[in-house]
Amino acid sequence: MSGLSRRDLLRNSAAAATLAWGAAARASAPVAKTQGPGVYRLKLGTYQITALYDGLWPIPINDDFIRNASRAQVNKALETDFLAPNILPISFTALLVNTGKKLILIDTGTAGQITDSAGTLLANLAVAGVSPKQIDTVLISHFHPDHINGIKTKDGTKVFTNAEIQVPEGEWAFWMDDSNLRAASGTVHKYFLNTRRIFRDIAKDVRRFSPGGEVAPGIMSLPAYGHTPGHCAFMISSGSDNMLVLSDSVRDPSLFVRHPDWQPTFDMDGPTAVDTRRHLLDRAANDRLLVHGYHFPFPASGHIIKAGRDFELVSVQWTPL
């Protein structure tokens, strides 16, 4: 050792440290199999809004997916946002509104009854520190299964035991009509049966509202027809702050924010849905409103800006409360 220079000692020490660090870096560690909880909170006036992620459903796209656009056009739109071709990733995100006095849930998720890759709403509600029995009001935008199935478990048990359930009058009138059920076929026929499964034995406890009025403190219902006959959007207001809840009037932003005139087959009345979509997107852009889209990528909120005749979504940035 006496023959080593100071430079040699420093070199040897550095080498030993590198070897020790390298050995530690090669230690095995399990690879995570899930993401973190899907909960995101934001402030709206004095209200707290919590986005509750329910999962993702990748569905294949066929040639008839959009009535007035080709599969090639759809795939080009997906490619623009670095998405795989021929697959539409449908995300589900409900909203919990805490007014300080009331807890209001807007739509209830899939309850794991549509696809195995969705059904995490209740788990994320627990992460948010809320139990289902604490919910005061459940607001339903329309009667498609991914919005109403969370009202009950698979075995038919009511989930939000203390909540008043409010639904659009137009949805109730359409989906609970037996003549409409008899005329329906395919997937739509299944929706009719599912609606009866959810609501039949709790019908007396369901309040039906006509769009255009206040349905909960600071929350107005807005007619947004086309996707379904009685489909509703909502406006949440606290002080001077507002959030436009688009529900399903605007589905995937890669397709229907940028191409609002496209008519997907899941819009029951395509032309009416386009008129609704353009009206709501125009309002959001002109009034610089915060928006929430049930099927937008989590946390499913942002702002709308105009891009010629079409629009773009600017997603919210992750911020502390």
Q: What is the DSSP string of 131-167?
A: -GGG--EEE-S--SHHHHGGGB-TT--BSSTTPEEEE
Residue-wise pLDDT tens digits, 87-141 = 999 999 999 999 999 999 999 999 999 999 999 999 999 999 999 999 999 999 9
Please state which of the ranges 14-18, 171-175, 193-197, 216-220 shows the lowest mean pLDDT. Answer: 14-18
Structure tokens given for 82:
């670095």
Q: Given this model, what pLDDT does residue 19 score?
A: 44
C-beta separation of 212 from 204 below 8 A: no
Full-prediction pTM beyond 0.75? yes
**What average pLDDT is seen over the chain?**
93
Pick the CATH number of 39-315 from 3.40.309.10, 3.40.50.460, 3.60.15.10, 3.40.50.2300: 3.60.15.10
Cα dihedral value 209, 214, 219, 220, nearest 10: 80
Instruction: Determine the straight-line distance between the first and last CA of the chain, rounded to whole angstroms.
Output: 59
Answer whether 245's CB lies under 8 Å from 235's CB.
yes
10 Å Cβ neighbour count for 279?
16
Name 220's Cβ contacts closer than 8 Å, sequence gap at least 6.
212, 213, 214, 234, 235, 237
Residues 115-127 pLDDT 10s? 999 999 999 999 9
Local structure of residue 304 (DSSP, 8 states): E
The one-character DSSP state at 258 is T
Cβ-contact 225, 141 below 8 angstroms: no
